[in-house]
């Protein structure tokens, strides 16, 4: 691995927990970190931009990318397909940037098999009531879709023990700060610091 290689992070959460807002704030606050833009077959919402929020493609294109082994991970969520570009992630990490994958527990399991040492973070809402209010208030989905998302919370949270860290998004500023602490701590790990400062360490050892 190159001395300036970036680190891979997975951040997952039940729908409506505020994960995307937290990740956007984190990326704005820190240098050398970016979030992967997933490919999806989900219809584009009115406020979304292709290539910014998602790469919106049709099912045939998605299936062709699967056949070409273009995805680092992919999963079906609420009847739609989502996937992470393998080449983009690898190229970005090689440039020394940390990469965040906003994916669900299914994607996390796939990525963990390829990258056993990734840091994974699960975001919890403060309560089921607060989660439902957020889903309703954001006015993005029909009621039946909201009910499906709420029903999926139990399945999603059942995988929480597979993650390294857990943050409760009760207070937004506190949750962003907690995320920053985790990323900064990861950058100070002995393994990364030894790679980054190998010249200094050799000099101090008299090699």
Residue range 50-81, pLDDT digits in tens: 999 999 999 999 999 999 999 999 988 888 99
Q: CB neighbours of 110 closer than 8 A, spacing ≥ 6?
A: 72, 73, 74, 75
Helix intervals (H) in the chain: 19-29, 59-67, 86-94, 105-114, 128-137, 143-157, 172-187, 190-196, 198-204
Question: How confident is the model at residue 3, as a pLDDT?
Answer: 43
Per-residue confidence (pLDDT) for residue 97, from 0 to 100: 93
DSSP 205: T
Query: How high is the pLDDT of residue 165?
Result: 97
Q: Is 110 exposed, middle or buried (0-12, 13-18, 19+ CB in 10 A)?
A: middle
* CA atoms of 205 and 66, how far apart (whole Å): 49
pLDDT of residue 16: 85
How many whole angstroms separate alpha carbon 184 and alpha carbon 187? 5
pLDDT at residue number 172: 96
58-62 long-range Cβ contacts below 8 angstroms, 24+ apart: none
Q: What is the DSSP letter of 81?
A: E
* Residue 117 contacts residue 26 (beta carbons within 8 Å): no
Q: What is the pLDDT of residue 2?
A: 38
Domains in the chain, CATH or no CATH each = 8-36+97-204 (3.40.50.300)
Q: What does the DSSP 8-state code read for residue 97?
A: -
Q: What is the C-alpha separation between 17 and 85, in angstroms, rounded?
A: 24
Residue 191, pLDDT score? 85
Which stretches of the chain score pLDDT less than 50?
A: 1-3
């Amino acid at each position: 691995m190159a001395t300036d290689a970036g680190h891979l992070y997975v951040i997952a959460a039940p729908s409506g927990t505020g994960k995307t807002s937290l990740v956007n704030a984190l990326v704005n606050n820190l240098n050398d970190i970016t979030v992967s833009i997933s490919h999806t077959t989900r219809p584009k919402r009115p406020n979304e931009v292709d290539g910014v929020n998602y790469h919106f493609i049709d099912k045939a294109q998605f299936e062709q990318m699967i056949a070409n082994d273009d995805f680092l991970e992919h999963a079906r969520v609420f009847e739609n397909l989502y996937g992470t570009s393998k080449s983009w992630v690898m190229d970005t990490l090689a440039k020394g940037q940390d990469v965040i994958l906003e994916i669900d527990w299914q994607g996390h399991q796939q990525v963990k098999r390829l990258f056993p040492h990734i840091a994974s973070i699960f975001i919890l809402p403060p309560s089921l009531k607060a989660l439902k209010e957020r889903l309703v208030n954001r006015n993005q989905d029909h009621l039946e879709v909201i009910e499906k998302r709420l029903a999926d919370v139990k399945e999603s949270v059942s995988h929480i023990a597979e993650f390294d860290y857990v943050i409760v998004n009760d207070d937004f500023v506190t949750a962003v700060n907690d995320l920053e602490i985790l990323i900064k701590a990861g950058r100070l790990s002995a393994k990364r610091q030894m790679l980054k400062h190998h010249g200094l360490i050799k000099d101090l050892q008299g090699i």
